Amino acid sequence: MCTRTGCALAHALERNGLATVQLASIRSYPERMRPPRALYCEFPLGRPLGVPGDAAFQRRVLEAAFALLEREEEPVLEDFPVRIHDESSSPLSCPVPPAVDPTAHPAVEEARGLRPAYDRHVARTGRTTVGETVDADGIPDAVAAFVRMADGAPPEAAGLPGSPRAVARDLRAYYEEAALALVDHTPGARQTESWLYRRTQTGAVLRRVRESLERSGASEAEWRYFMPSTQPDE
């Protein structure tokens, strides 16, 4: 991939006789660092080959990239002819199981209700990105801690099992992976993200937590990236 590090590495490999070609998701990187060969793909970040599950489309991308190896002039920067835009403005339409315990906070019950869907996703794919700080068993308690933070409690008093940003990443992964088991198609780029932050009880809590952190004087590093920059303030 054409990152700053990747571009520097490409130059080093080429000096040692190994031809390289890179896929670039951000055009300014190859423009500035001028790696020997790069294919710019205007796809949503996180989808370097464009369309998940579409082997034919992904093959087209790879063939276009490898074709640059035949070019003699350097540096080469070509644009892939197909553009794919993210769909963050169209949140996924995803059913959430009804609450069972009326005495629990709606966000906590929501997280509990999504556990079967999350388990189905893990069973089907054999992988998960949940667990950096808190595993699936601890997600409801993490949501409860965020509820307390949203009401003004500091992280250490709220019982959060790690930094707000790290726990929020696990929470986001849990919700997005559960969502994939609740729909019968591959969502558009950022649709599951927008579903979490704009359509769920937990998403509303996370928005309140970010506002609370900002008001409390927490460092900008702690709250600025607490939520994705692709999600507008409401």
Tens of pLDDT, residues 163-183:
888 999 999 999 999 999 999
pLDDT at residue 97 in the model? 79
216 vs 131, more confident? 131
Distance of CA 19 to the CA centre of its chain: 31
Query: What would the pLDDT profile of 96-138 be if each residue is shown by its tens digit?
Result: 878 788 889 999 999 999 999 999 999 999 999 999 999 999 9
Checking if the pLDDT of 232 tops 90, the result is no
- DSSP for 145-203 reads HHHHHHTT--HHHHT-SS-HHHHHHHHHHHHHHHHHHHSSSPPPTTHHHHHHHHHSHHH
**Residue 123: what pLDDT?**
97
Instruction: Please give the share of the chain, as a percent, with pLDDT higher than 70.
Output: 98
Average pLDDT over residues 210-232: 76
24, 39 Cβ separation under 8 angstroms: yes
Token output for 44:
């949503």
Contact residues for 184 (Cβ-Cβ < 8 A; gap 6+)? none
End-to-end CA distance of the chain: 34
Q: pLDDT per residue over 184-193, tens digit each?
A: 888 887 889 8
CA angle 210, 213, 217 (to 5 degrees): 145
Give CB contacts under 8 A, 24+ apart, made by 54-58: 57/82
Q: What is the mean pLDDT of residues 65-94?
A: 87
Helix (H) / strand (E) containing 66? helix 55-67
CA–CA gap between residue 196 and residue 187 (Å, rounded): 13
Are 76 and 174 contacting, i.e. CB atoms less than 8 angstroms apart?
no
**More confident site: 99 or 157:** 157
Beta sheet of 76-79, edge-to-edge order = 22-24, 37-40, 76-79
**3-class DSSP assignment, residue 12:** helix
pLDDT band at 84, cuts 50/70/90? confident
H or E, element range at 110: helix 106-113
* Per-residue pLDDT at 154: 85
